[in-house]
C-alpha cells in the first residue's frame, strides 16, 4: 500500500466482511434449516439459530431419503456423484494428455484438422445440442449407465490446450536426451512427461472434479433409474416435493451434503484450484 489511511483500511474490511456475509448467508441459512425439526417451518419464518435435530436429519437423509420424492438415500447419490466426477475428471485428463502429446511431439498428416476438431468442442456445450446427443446415447443403449453419464462429457478442448501449452514449454533437449538414452515415445511419455505434468494434472483434476460433480442437465436426461441419480439432480427432485410438504429441514440437509465435497476440495486445495482455474482459461 502506498499510504496509510485508517478510514480506508476500515472501509476495505467493511466491504470484505459484507462480501463474505453475502456469500455465506444463503448457505448458513440452509445449514440452520437442516438442524431443525419439520414443525419449525410452520410458523411462517425460517429459524436463524441452530436447532437440535441435526444428526437426526442428516442421518435420515443419508440412510433413507424421502420416500415420496422418488430419490434414493443421499449416501447412494453421493456415491454416484463421486464415481461420475472421478470418471469424468480422470477420463478428460487421460484422453487430453494423449491428444496433446500427439499434437506436440509428432508431425503427421491431418494434424491441424485433428486440432480443429478438438477445438470445435469448445463451441458445442451439451445445452445447445440436447436432443440429438440424447438420441445418440439412447441409440447406443447407454441410458441409465455410468458410461452414458460420463463418456459424452469426456472430450475436452480446454484440457488438451492446457497440456499442449505446457508440453511446448518442456525443453526440446529433454526429449532428445531421453531418445539418446533409449526411451521410445511411450517410455518418454511415462517416465519424463507425466511426472513433469504432475502439478498441472492435479490442478486440472480439481477443476474437472467440480465440473463433473455439478453436472445437472446431462444426468437429468440420461437417467430414469434412480439407482444412477447423482446428488445434484436428486436434490432437485427432493426440493420439488418440499414445496408441498414442509420438509425443508431434510431438503436443506441434502443441499449441505451435496455442496460439501466439491466445496471442501476448493477450500483445502485452494492453490491447485486457483492454478487450474486460471490456467484453463489461458
Within residues 70-89, the interface with another protein by CB under 8 A covers none
Residue 135 lies near another protein (rule: CB under 8 A)? yes
Kindly state the DSSP code that residue 247 receives in the 8-state scheme.
Answer: -
Question: How far apart are the C-alpha atoms of 40 and 27, rounded to whole Å?
Answer: 18
Which residues inside 218-237 make contact with another protein, applying CB under 8 A?
A: 221, 232-233, 235-236
Q: Which of 51, 54, 239, 241 binds another protein (CB under 8 A)?
A: 239
* Shortest distance, position 162 Cβ to another protein, whole Å: 14
Q: Which of 6, 49, 55, 108 binds another protein (CB under 8 A)?
A: 108
Using the contact rule CB under 8 A, the part of the chain among 49-57, 66-74, 193-201 near another protein is 193-201
- Only one residue has cell 445434484, namely 232
Question: How far apart are the C-alpha atoms of 139 and 222, rounded to whole Å?
Answer: 12
Q: Which of 214, 226, 241, 280 binds another protein (CB under 8 A)?
A: 214
Question: How far apart are the C-alpha atoms of 113 and 115, rounded to whole Å?
Answer: 5
Note the Cα 276 to chain centre separation in Å.
12
Sequence length of the chain is: 282
Residue 39 lies near another protein (rule: CB under 8 A)? no
Residue with smaller CB distance to another protein, 2 or 55 = 2
Q: Which cell is 71 given?
A: 430419490
Residue with smaller CB distance to another protein, 76 or 242 = 242
Residue 13 lies near another protein (rule: CB under 8 A)? yes
Residue with smaller CB distance to another protein, 62 or 214 = 214
Q: Which of 64, 122, 224, 227 binds another protein (CB under 8 A)?
A: 122
Question: How far apart are the C-alpha atoms of 220 and 180, rounded to whole Å?
Answer: 52
Q: Which of 118, 149, 208, 247 binds another protein (CB under 8 A)?
A: 118
**Which residues, including other chains, have CB under 8 Å from residue 159's CB and lie 6 or more apart?**
92, 93, 96, 204, 208, 280
Residue 49 lies near another protein (rule: CB under 8 A)? no
Q: Which of 54, 86, 114, 202 binds another protein (CB under 8 A)?
A: 114
The 158-177 contact track toward another protein, x by CB under 8 A, reads --x-------x--xxxxxxx
Question: How far apart are the C-alpha atoms of 31 and 36, rounded to whole Å?
Answer: 9
Q: Which of 58, 166, 213, 228 binds another protein (CB under 8 A)?
A: 213
CB of 209 closer than 8 Å to CB of 85: yes
- Roughly what angle, to the nearest 10 degrees, separates helices 270-280 and 157-169? 100
Amino acid at each position: 500500500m502506498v499510504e496509510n489511511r485508517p478510514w480506508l483500511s476500515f472501509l476495505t474490511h467493511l466491504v470484505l466482511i459484507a462480501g463474505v456475509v453475502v456469500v455465506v448467508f444463503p448457505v448458513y441459512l440452509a445449514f440452520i434449516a437442516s438442524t431443525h425439526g419439520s414443525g419449525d417451518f410452520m410458523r411462517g419464518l425460517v429459524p436463524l439459530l441452530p436447532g437440535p435435530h441435526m444428526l437426526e436429519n442428516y442421518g435420515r437423509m443419508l440412510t433413507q431419503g424421502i420416500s415420496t420424492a422418488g430419490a434414493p438415500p443421499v449416501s447412494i447419490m453421493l456415491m454416484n456423484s463421486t464415481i461420475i466426477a472421478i470418471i469424468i475428471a480422470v477420463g478428460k485428463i487421460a484422453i487430453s494428455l494423449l491428444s496433446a502429446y500427439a499434437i506436440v511431439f509428432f508431425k503427421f498428416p491431418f494434424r491441424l484438422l485433428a486440432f480443429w476438431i478438438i477445438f470445435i468442442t469448445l463451441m458445442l456445450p451439451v445445452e445447445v445440442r440436447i436432443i440429438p446427443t440424447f438420441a445418440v446415447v439412447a441409440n447406443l443403449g447407454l441410458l441409465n449407465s455410468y458410461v452414458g453419464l460420463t463418456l459424452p462429457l469426456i472430450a475436452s478442448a480446454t484440457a488438451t490446450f492446457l497440456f499442449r501449452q505446457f508440453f511446448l514449454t518442456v525443453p526440446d533437449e529433454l526429449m532428445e536426451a531421453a531418445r539418446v538414452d533409449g526411451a521410445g515415445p511411450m517410455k518418454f511419455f511415462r517416465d519424463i512427461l507425466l511426472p513433469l505434468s504432475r502439478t498441472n494434472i492435479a490442478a486440472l483434476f480439481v477443476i474437472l472434479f467440480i465440473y463433473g460433480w455439478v453436472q445437472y442437465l446431462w444426468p437429468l436426461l440420461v437417467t430414469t433409474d434412480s439407482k444412477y441419480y447423482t446428488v445434484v439432480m436428486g436434490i432437485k427432485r427432493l426440493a420439488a416435493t418440499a414445496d408441498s410438504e414442509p420438509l425443508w429441514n431434510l431438503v436443506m440437509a441434502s443441499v449441505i451434503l451435496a455442496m460439501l465435497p466439491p466445496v471442501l476440495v476448493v477450500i483445502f486445495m485452494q492453490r491447485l484450484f486457483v492454478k487450474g482455474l486460471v490456467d484453463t482459461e489461458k
